[in-house]
Structure 1
């Protein structure tokens, strides 16, 4: 009698996503599924294995002891499948299909659209999916085919190209500076309102190093989105630090201090080594590199 279990790969993906995200709703969003569909896939996997893999604790799912024992093996299957997908995509010589580009939300919203129009003109058979994210996408797990990053990536398994040295500076709406009184020196910003970013960052330290005497009390507004921060600044809520090339194309915004030392920002273009052998990904990569340079 053959007791061998035949597993559906979709069930494995559902299991791994649920482990990674800790809940069915978060895992369903990651996989682009409805929560009932994901629940059925998990139930099917447990039924065919004859095992209970998760226990519900509050609103979260927690691996059972049996689930933890299987996790390493299932995770290895996931890594192998991702690797297979990378190799298969890299072999594609078609100039038709989808290329996924990951970029920060400000870059995706304000700077990337003009480049996308040129991409479409150069190769109309290529469709672009833009992943707007302020986190560094994991190219090895195929969250994106190409990433636009502002930190130098780890080189293992990746091709990266330094495309642009940009600067970030202090900008504010003209009407806010009218109310504040245009500062003549960094010391004049001691009581100014600033727009900052959620979570740990070194912005206050960098400003202090440049002679701007700000503390947490100056940051009346905080957000996890550079787009939201820039829109707040455009509405006159306070001073924001943003890319110079974005600020220069925005009417009604002014550089706050003429002698402020800008913060350097590098723009890196990154893809997987094997994906760079795909004609459509190579075309998009090279055109992005040309435009970003």
Structure 2
């Protein structure tokens, strides 16, 4: 959607962003230390200025509209950029120090986060990031981490969760494996191929069966509980595996098994504590990750290059 060049009140934008993130006027009012009627008036004023409806009011509460969703992506980027610009301008980013614990899968920690966190060394060299490689949803609730990258939305009420977007996954194998084992033409041809999987092959058999791919437990010639190890096994030529396109499309010597096979989408959630609102170093890392992950999602969705 092309938004007109309109001058509007930044407070209205903040009210919109808080309402979208909190899911209600009352939640936005608490987040902004305002009142529910004020938030409602600010949203209405923004809708009138833009000439669109941002939220549908119903008995269930508020539902963001398509126009609202379109605007939300731009507003998030504006808010993150404004925070960073403000901190850099007055030197606060350089003065922010301390530890921030980030938890993600071992594959994301090894293949994606080094690139996304690199700018932090320049903007806030005093911030020390600790990567906790785990898929355990309890990390934040147990205060083992400050920020989590997860594929499911947590249900703990004291956490802030932002849906960054959706990554895609597909079947990949090393060119060396496909040269040796043959290139399947249909999913049914995969019955005789080797696969790389996790430590629960029965679960993977059911998952692949739902996709029309006939595999058996014995099809998994190599299994591991590590995403990094699984990816290395695929690249080495042990067999086929479902892998993120953000990695598969950039890896030399690896190719998609079926060029036209439908991708599997999996959501990316960035999760943190309510402390985000008061802790500058957590806010800095959170915004950096949000922006970097959103760019990765956008790059893969548009089919453009995903390498740094």
> What interval of TM-score do these two structures reach, taking the shorter chain for normalisation?
0.5 to 0.7
Query: Which digits, 9 at most, give the CA deviation of each residue in 1:96-145, with x for residues without a partner?
Result: 11101001000000111001111222211111111111322421221001
Residue matched to 2:187: 186
Cα distance in structure 2, aligned partners of 1:260 and 1:124? 44
- Tell me if the contact between 1:196 and 1:219 (Cα under 8 Å) persists in the aligned partners: yes
- The offset of 1:192, in angstroms, is 0.4
1:238 corresponds in structure 2 to: 239
Task: Find the counterpart in structure 2 of residue 125 from structure 1.
Answer: 126
CA deviations over 1:200-256 (Å, ceiling 9, x no partner)? 774322221222111112111110001000101111000111110011221100000
**CA separation of 1:240/1:174 partners in 2, compared to 1, >3 Å: closer, same or farther?**
same
Give the C-alpha shift of residue 155 in structure 1: 4.1
Rounded to whole Å, the distance in 1 between the matches of 2:202 and 2:229 is 17
Show the 5 A alignment for 1:183-262. Answer: 183-199=184-200, 202-262=203-263
Specify the alignment match of 1:134 in structure 2. Answer: 135
Indicate if the aligned counterparts of 2:202 and 2:217 stay in contact, CA closer than 8 A: no
Structure 1 contact 160–268 (Cα < 8 Å) conserved = yes
Query: What is the RMSD computed on CA atoms of the aligned residues?
Result: 1.7
CA distance in 1, matches of 2:255, 2:124: 38
Distance in 1 (CA, whole Å) between partners of 2:208 and 2:121 is: 40
Rounded to whole Å, the distance in 2 between the matches of 1:275 and 1:142 is: 13
Alpha-carbon distance in 2 for matches of 1:204, 1:277: 46
Structure-2 change in CA distance of 1:277 and 1:111 (3 Å): same
How far 1:275 sits from its partner (Å)? 3.9
Q: Which runs of 5+ in 2 are unaligned?
A: 1-92, 295-308
Aligned to 1:115: 116
Superposition map of 1:48-87 within 5 A: none
Total equivalences in the alignment = 201
Residue 95 of structure 1 corresponds to 96
Q: 1:243 to 1:146 in 2, by over 3 A?
A: same
* Cα pair distance change 1:200/1:282, threshold 3 Å: farther
CA distance in 2, matches of 1:256, 1:284: 36
Listed one character per residue, the Cα deviations across residues 4-61 of structure 1 (whole Å, up to 9, x for unaligned) are xxxxxxxxxxxxxxxxxxxxxxxxxxxxxxxxxxxxxxxxxxxxxxxxxxxxxxxxxx
Distance 2:99 2:116 in 1: 16
List structure 1 runs of 4+ shifted beyond 4 angstroms. none
SS of residue in 2 equivalent to 1:138:
helix
For structure 1, list consecutive stretches of 5 or more residues without a partner in the other structure.
1-92
Larger Rg: 1
Task: For 2:134 and 2:180, locate their aligned partners in 1 and report how far apart those are by CA, in whole Å.
Answer: 34
- The answer to whether the 8 Å contact 1:102/1:137 transfers is no
> Is 1:288 aligned to residue 284 of structure 2?
no
State the secondary structure of the residue aligned to 1:167: strand
Would you say the 8 A contact 1:95–1:279 is kept in 2? yes
| Alignment partners' CA distance in 2, 1:102 and 1:167 | 21
